[in-house]
Amino acid sequence: MNPSQSATSDRRPIIVAVTGASGGPYAVRLIQELVIAQRQISLIVSSHGLRLLRTETELTSVDDLRELIGGDMWDRVVTVHDDDDRGAAPASGSARAVGMVICPCSMGTVSAIAHGSSRSLIERAADVMLKERRPLILVPRETPLSSVHLENLLKLSRDGVVVLPAAPGFYNRPATIDALIDFVVARILDHLEVEHKLGIRWGEQ
């Protein structure tokens, strides 16, 4: 079995959470790519995350996101959880998961995870990733960063969390906003070990 077949047949979900920091288009593109790769997704969108999507994209609901990606493909791989449901599967360490990515990740969410004060399913699921030693990727977009933000991020980095700021590079000379979005999403997918064809890697023609 080749690596792509193994990844596609892995029924463990990748937990994807969307919180209220700016960066909604990154979340949409990430979910699109994971669906294209036929990876199982446990999706959690906070109330602030939904407001973010309404502000920064044409989407007004998770149903709109499903329609954008394609209902048939979505229904095969995406399970949506309510952020208020702390009894959902991602809240338990016994529930299998490849890992979790919070994209975008607000500084309030960072603080809650860093200090173990989970108040929602997103924060509890991240807490589970830490205690179970599973991959956790945070995609903050806040700028500038206060010393409090930096201390919380450093604490999480020391705990093994991947802090992946939404900071696109320009060495590939991106000509569109989509190219800037793809740059960041490609890095997230690399850390999730999901194959993709977004952009050109350094050294490639």
pLDDT tens-digit profile of 171-188? 889 999 999 999 999 999
Residue 109 has pLDDT above 80, yes or no: yes
The CATH class for the domain spanning 3-192 reads: alpha beta
> What pLDDT sits at residue 201?
81
> What pLDDT sits at residue 185?
97
Q: Which two tokens stand for residue 3?
A: 């690596």
Segments making up each domain of the chain, as ranges = 3-192
> What pLDDT sits at residue 8?
53
> What pLDDT sits at residue 11?
86
Only one residue has tokens 């093994």, namely 160
- Above pLDDT 90, what percent of the chain? 88
Residue 9 has pLDDT above 80, yes or no: no
pLDDT tens-digit profile of 71-97? 999 999 999 999 999 999 999 999 999
Amino acid type, 121: L
CA pair distance 63, 57, nearest whole angstrom: 14
Q: Which two tokens stand for residue 36?
A: 């294209």
At 72 the three-state DSSP class reads helix
> Can you list the pairs that 175-184 forms with residues at least 24 positions away whose Cβ atoms lie under 8 Å?
177/25, 178/29, 181/25, 181/26, 181/29, 182/29, 184/26, 184/139
In this prediction, residues 109-138 reach a mean pLDDT of: 97
> What pLDDT sits at residue 21?
86
CB 56 within 8 A of CB 24: yes
CB 186 within 8 A of CB 198: yes
CA pair distance 21, 106, nearest whole angstrom: 5
> What pLDDT sits at residue 4?
47
Residue 45 has pLDDT above 90, yes or no: yes
pTM: 0.93
Nearest by Cα to 29 from 151, 37, 21: 37
What is the residue-averaged pLDDT of the chain? Answer: 93
In this prediction, residues 105-126 reach a mean pLDDT of: 97
In this prediction, residues 143-170 reach a mean pLDDT of: 97
